[in-house]
Structure 1
Amino acid sequence: MTFSDLGVDQDMVDALAAKGILEPFPIQSQTIPLGLSGQDIIGQAKTGTGKTFGFGLPLLQELGQDPEPGVKALVVVPTRELCVQVAEDLVTASSNRSTQVVAIYGGKAYEGQIEQLKAGAQVVVGTPGRLLDLASQRMLSLAHVKVMVLDEADKMLDLGFLSDIEKLFAQTPPARHTMLFSATMPGPIVALARRFMNRPIHIRATDPDEGLTQANIKHIVYRAHALDKDEVITRILQAEGRGKTVIFTRTKRAAAKLVEELNDRGFNAAAVHGDLNQEQRERAMAAFKAGKKDILIATDVAARGIDVLDVTHVINHTIPEDHDAYLHRAGRTGRAGKTGIAVTFVDWDDMHKWGLINRALEMGIPEPVETYSSSPHLYSDLDIPTDAKGRLKSAGPAREREPRSATAGHGSTRQGGQRGGGRGGPDGTAASHGVPRTGDRERTRSRAGRPVDATDSQQAAGAQRPAGAGTHDGSGPSRRRRNRTRRPSTGTTPPAA
Structure 2
Amino acid sequence: MDFTSLELPEPVRQGIREAGFVTATPIQEAALPLALKGKDVAGQSQTGTGKTAAFLIAAFTRLLRTPAPAPAAGGATPRVLIIAPTRELTVQIESDARLLGRFTPFRILAVYGGIDYAKQRDALAAGADVLVGTPGRLIDYLKQRVWSPRQVEVLVIDEADRMFDMGFIADLRFILRRLPPPERRQSFLFSATLSFRVLELTWEFMNNPTQITIMPQQKTAERVEQALYHVGREEKFALLLGLLRREGGDRILIFSNTREEARRLEDRLVRNGWETRALTGDVDQKKRLKTLADFKEGRLPILVATDVASRGLHIEAVSHVVNWDLPQDAEDYVHRI
TM-score, length basis structure 1: 0.62
Task: Name the counterpart of 1:123.
Answer: 130
Hey, what does 1:274 align to over in structure 2? 281
Residue 270 of structure 1 aligns to a residue whose secondary structure is strand
- Preserved contact between residue 245 and residue 296 of structure 1 (Cα < 8 Å): yes
- 1:199 to partner: Cα distance: 0.9
Instruction: In structure 1, give the amino acid aligned to 2:268.
Output: E
Q: CA contact under 8 A between 1:15 and 1:96: conserved in structure 2? A: yes
Secondary structure at the counterpart of residue 24 of structure 1: coil
Deviation at 1:67, TM superposition (A): 5.6
Greater RCO, CA 8 A, separation 6+: 2
Partner amino acid, structure 2, of 1:188: R
Q: Does 1:81 align with 2:95?
A: no
- Contact (CA 8 Å) 2:252, 2:321: kept in 1 or not? yes
Match of 2:108 among 101, 104, 109: 101
Q: Does 1:196 align with 2:209?
A: no
Amino acid of the residue matched to residue 158 of structure 1? D
User: Which of the residues 127, 147, 159 maps onto 2:154?
Assistant: 147
Alpha carbons 1:67, 1:98 under 8 Å: kept: no
Native 8 Å contact 2:159 2:312 kept in 1: no
- How many Å apart are 1:287 and its aligned residue? 1.5
Q: Distance in 2 between matches of 1:238 and 1:45?
A: 36
| Distance of 1:151 and 1:125 partners within structure 2 | 10
Report what 1:283 is aligned to: 290
Q: Distance in 1 between matches of 2:22 and 2:273?
A: 39
Within 1, Cα distance between the matches of 2:119 and 2:314? Answer: 25
Q: Residue 457 of structure 1 corresponds to which residue in structure 2?
A: none
Letter in 1 for 2:58: P
**1:365-410 CA deviation, whole Å, 9 max, x = no partner?**
xxxxxxxxxxxxxxxxxxxxxxxxxxxxxxxxxxxxxxxxxxxxxx
Deviations 1:413-456 (A, max 9, x none): xxxxxxxxxxxxxxxxxxxxxxxxxxxxxxxxxxxxxxxxxxxx
Distance 2:105 2:328 in 1: 43
User: Aligned partners of 2:215, 2:31: CA distance in 1, in Å?
Assistant: 13
Q: Do the aligned partners of 2:47 and 2:312 also contact (CA within 8 Å) in 1?
A: no
Aligned: 1:298 with 2:305: yes
SS of the residue 1:320 aligns to? coil
The one-letter amino acid of 2:8's match is V
Percentage of identical aligned residues: 37
Whole-angstrom distance in 2 between the partners of 1:146 and 1:103: 17
Q: Per the alignment, in what secondary structure is the counterpart of residue 78 of structure 1? A: coil
Structure 2 residue 20 is matched with structure 1 residue 11: no
Q: How does 1:314-325 map to 2 (within 5 A)?
A: 314-325=321-332
> SS where residue 12 of structure 2 aligns?
helix
What is residue 328 of structure 1 aligned with on the other side? Answer: 335
Q: Does 1:167 align with 2:174?
A: yes
Unaligned runs of at least 5 residues, structure 1? 331-497
In the alignment, the residues of structure 1 paired with residue 112 and residue 254 of structure 2 have an alpha-carbon distance, to the nearest angstrom, of 25
Contact 2:78 2:149 in 1 (8 A): yes
1:76 Cα shift?
0.5
1:90 matched residue in structure 2:
97
* SS of residue matched to 2:92: helix
User: Deviation of residue 135 (structure 1)?
Assistant: 0.4
1:313 counterpart letter in structure 2: H
Residue 213 (structure 1) aligned with residue 220 (structure 2): yes
- Partner secondary structure for residue 247 of structure 1: strand
Q: 2: distance between equivalents of 1:195 and 1:50?
A: 26
1:177 maps to a residue whose letter is Q
Q: Secondary structure at the match of 2:56?
A: helix
Give the whole-Å Cα distance in 2 for the aligned partners of 1:112 and 1:4.
40
- The code of the aligned residue for 2:285 comes to Q
Deviation at 1:147, TM superposition (A): 0.3
The one-letter code matched in structure 1 to 2:335 is: H
Deviation per CA, 1:60-104: give whole Å up to 9, x if none: 211118967741111111111111111111111011122121111
Counterpart residue type for residue 154 of structure 1 = D
Distance (Å, rounded) in 1 between the aligned partners of 2:175 and 2:6: 31
Give the alignment's TM-score, normalised by structure 2.
0.90
Q: Comparing 259-268 with 196-205, which one deviates more in the overlay? A: 259-268
Aligned length: 328
Q: 1:55 aligned to 2:62?
A: no
Would you say the 8 A contact 2:43–2:211 is kept in 1?
A: yes
| Aligned residue type for 1:144 | Q
Instruction: List gaps (5 residues or longer) in structure 2.
Output: 72-76
Match of 2:121 in 1: 114
| Aligned residues of 1:101 and 1:123 also touching (Cα < 8 A) | yes
Distance change (3 Å), C-alpha of 1:298 and 1:88? same
2:198 matched to 1:186? Answer: no
Distance 1:40 1:90 in 2: 20
Residue matched to 2:315: 308
Structure 1 residue 222, shift from structure 2 partner: 2.3
